[in-house]
A and B are shown apart, each in its own frame.
Chain A
Amino acid sequence: MTYDASAREDRGAVPATGSDRTFWGRLASWAPYRALVQLATATPRRQFLILAALPVLWVLTQHLGPMLQMLRVSLTDAYPVAAGTEQHFTFDNYLRFFGDRLFWMPFFRTLGFAFVFTLCTLVLTYPVAYFLARHVSPKNRMLLLLMLLIPFWVGEIVRTYAIMILLGNTGAVNLALKWLGLIDRPIPFMYTSFSMGVGIVYLTALYMLLPLYSALEKLPKSLNEAAADLGAGAWTRFRRVTLPLTIEGISSGCTLVFLISTGFYATPVLLGGPSTTVFAETIAGFFHVAGDEWPTGAAFAVIMFLAALILTTLFQKFMTGLRKGERK
């Protein structure tokens, strides 16, 4: 074998030119490209700066920017500034919130609704997640889970509409109840907090189901068996073993659902009534009318965001405390 000899001959060989080279070969030896790469990678520091420039700029201007701009507008007396006038710094937009029942009622209603709906979603999906994670063979598990995921690919509006058809006066539920002879006249489900709840739980269930499922799936089966071995009944086992160990899943699921619930606009508009106006509708109102209402709308959005942020942070702290308490 004379591998060495043949290789040595080529060492000084002139690189091929033109189209006989592969694309990458041509690129790598194309002078302008080489110069550019040389320039960009001259030092590790420069290379890193080039890599980091776009992401940092993007998150600052596109992710943080809108929030900061909203905060700024919320602290001004007019936006956009009309010609010939001046913009002033003010807290009035925030004070307006406390001054009118029409403003703070929807706010507290929204938080109350979000709280109740989150709880409903949790109670509804926990057994489902439990069943999937503990009582279904791994082979069927993905299939059964996937089946639940399909409807969640469908958008907010379409699913809200589906609930409207279900709960309307001539809807499927009322029809069924009538057939069963339970009612004579349709029950007016629609445009109440009930219909809104059904709709919002319908839209958010997945965000609860997935964290719960993954928390339950991680739980070793042997733990429950050990508890049973020590004489713990089914309820005790659930309360003392399963529930504490899935607190993380519950906590993240609830946080997600709560945040999402507070942000719905179309669903309350379509499914709710005058007595269920949520804060999203209040905020939106400032953006449909004349532009000078924007600062107030922005202030209200800031209030909403801060409230949701503070509540979920407190909730997470509380849940972490609970978890640590259980472990002691």
Chain B
Amino acid sequence: MTRGNRILLSCTYWAFVAYVFVPLVLMVLMGFKDSKFIGFPIRSYTLEWYMGIFENAEVISAFAYSVAIAVLSTLISVFVGTWIAVLLEGRKFWGRAAIFGLTVLPALIPGIISAIAFRIYARYLGIEPGMGAIVWSHAVHNVPFVVLVVMARLSTLPKSQIEAARDLGADPLIAFLRITLPYLIPAIMGASIFCLLLSFDDFVRSFFLGGYEPTLPVLIFAKLKSGMSPEINAIATAALVLTAVVGVWAERFTRRMNKES
């Protein structure tokens, strides 16, 4: 590889970094603009927009709503996903490939189609649009990610660990709770964080299955449709900071856990 090529490649990388970061940085900056109109240049700065979030009941309730949905849907996804992973990583059985295929299906369906399918099914099941419907759709949509992460970890658990527990008097359930589950904790933590973020960031399912109360992304979308304003920047930045911080923390946390075991 020649020197010129190398420099060119390195430039491409940094250009990509710029592409990925600059829009977000600009968005954060715009939230400080002392004007009602979005647009450069920014001549004077204010904290007004950011402080305003804390007094905006609409934003705070949307935020809390999104967090509640994320937590509830994650609990369901992790429970079901771990169960499915244990089945799929266990002994071979007829139809296992089919079950695996169906398990990953929700992750492969394009967003709008997934949202429509859930909307129709929710009505079929008699679930009214609203929190329950959103939680349910997020839970189903996120199960595949939990299954994949947990299966990967489970495949590295030596079979003798479970056999040893059984040998010492543990029934299958106690062996699972005392040996398998502790072993899976890093994977489950990682998958949970991933699910939380997926749910918190999700727009399309929340939009089609939501009732009158908007989640944070739906609220931002609604505000955007009626025009841009630094207020939206401040709200979006708050969402950004939360997800980025949680994401980075999770990344470090899971890597530390993996190193330890």
Query: Which residues of A are in contact with B by a Cβ distance under 8 Å?
Result: 24, 27-28, 37, 40-41, 47-48, 51-52, 54-56, 58-60, 62-67, 69-70, 73, 79-80, 124-125, 127-128, 130-132, 134-135, 144, 146-159, 161-166, 168-172, 175, 202, 205, 234, 259-260, 262-266, 269-270, 280, 283-284, 287, 294, 297-298, 301, 304-305, 308
Q: Mark B146-173, 1 if CB is under 8 A from A, else 0.
A: 0000000000000000000000011111
- Decide: A153 near B102, CB < 8 A? Known: A69-B121, A80-B123, A205-B20: no
In the complex the two chains form, is A202's CB within 8 Å of B103's CB? no
Complex contacts, B243 vs chain A, CB 8 Å: 153-155
Query: Which residues of B are in contact with A by a Cβ distance under 8 Å?
Result: 1-2, 5-6, 8-10, 12-13, 16-17, 19-24, 26-27, 30, 37-41, 80, 83-84, 86-88, 90-91, 93, 99, 102-103, 105-106, 108-121, 123-124, 140, 143, 169-174, 178, 197, 200-204, 207-208, 217, 220-221, 224-225, 228, 232-233, 236, 239-240, 243-244, 246-248, 251
In the complex the two chains form, is A59's CB within 8 Å of B99's CB? yes
Complex contacts, B208 vs chain A, CB 8 Å: 284, 287
B87 nearest CB neighbor, chain A only: A55
Complex contacts, B200 vs chain A, CB 8 Å: 155
In the complex the two chains form, is A297's CB within 8 Å of B84's CB? no
- Closest chain B CB from A146 CB (angstroms): 6
- Decide: A51 near B86, CB < 8 A? Known: A155-B243, A162-B24: yes
B80 nearest CB neighbor, chain A only: A58
In the complex the two chains form, is B110's CB within 8 Å of A308's CB? yes
Complex contacts, B106 vs chain A, CB 8 Å: 63
* Separation of A63 and B139 alpha carbons in the complex (Å): 11
In the complex the two chains form, is A24's CB within 8 Å of B174's CB? yes
* Separation of A49 and B42 alpha carbons in the complex (Å): 65
- Decide: A158 near B9, CB < 8 A? Known: A28-B171, A304-B113: no
6 contacts between A and B (CB under 8 A): A124-B16, A154-B201, A154-B243, A157-B203, A161-B224, A301-B112
In the complex the two chains form, is A73's CB within 8 Å of B38's CB? no
Complex contacts, B84 vs chain A, CB 8 Å: 55, 58-59
Complex contacts, B197 vs chain A, CB 8 Å: 153
In the complex the two chains form, is B140's CB within 8 Å of A63's CB? yes
* Separation of A313 and B80 alpha carbons in the complex (Å): 29
In the complex the two chains form, is A66's CB within 8 Å of B118's CB? yes
* Separation of A262 and B110 alpha carbons in the complex (Å): 6
Complex contacts, A60 vs chain B, CB 8 Å: 102
B228 touches which one: A65, A127, A154, A164 (CB < 8 A)?
A164
A284 nearest CB neighbor, chain B only: B112
Q: Is the interface of B mostly helix, strand, loop or mixed?
A: helix
Complex contacts, A168 vs chain B, CB 8 Å: 38-39, 228
In the complex the two chains form, is B110's CB within 8 Å of A155's CB? no
* Separation of A47 and B118 alpha carbons in the complex (Å): 32
* Separation of A41 and B176 alpha carbons in the complex (Å): 14
Complex contacts, A301 vs chain B, CB 8 Å: 112-113, 116-117
Complex contacts, A270 vs chain B, CB 8 Å: 221, 224-225
- Closest chain B CB from A49 CB (angstroms): 10
- Closest chain A CB from B163 CB (angstroms): 15
- Decide: A166 near B121, CB < 8 A? Known: A127-B12, A155-B243: no
In the complex the two chains form, is B110's CB within 8 Å of A304's CB? yes
- Decide: A148 near B110, CB < 8 A? Known: A155-B243, A158-B239, A166-B26: no
In the complex the two chains form, is B203's CB within 8 Å of A165's CB? no
Other than the known A52-B93, A55-B83, what 10 A-B pairs have Cβ atoms closer than 8 Å? A59-B103, A63-B103, A63-B140, A66-B140, A70-B113, A79-B120, A153-B248, A155-B201, A202-B19, A270-B224
In the complex the two chains form, is A202's CB within 8 Å of B115's CB? no
A158 touches which one: B102, B118, B124, B220 (CB < 8 A)?
B220
In the complex the two chains form, is B9's CB within 8 Å of A294's CB? no
* Separation of A308 and B112 alpha carbons in the complex (Å): 12
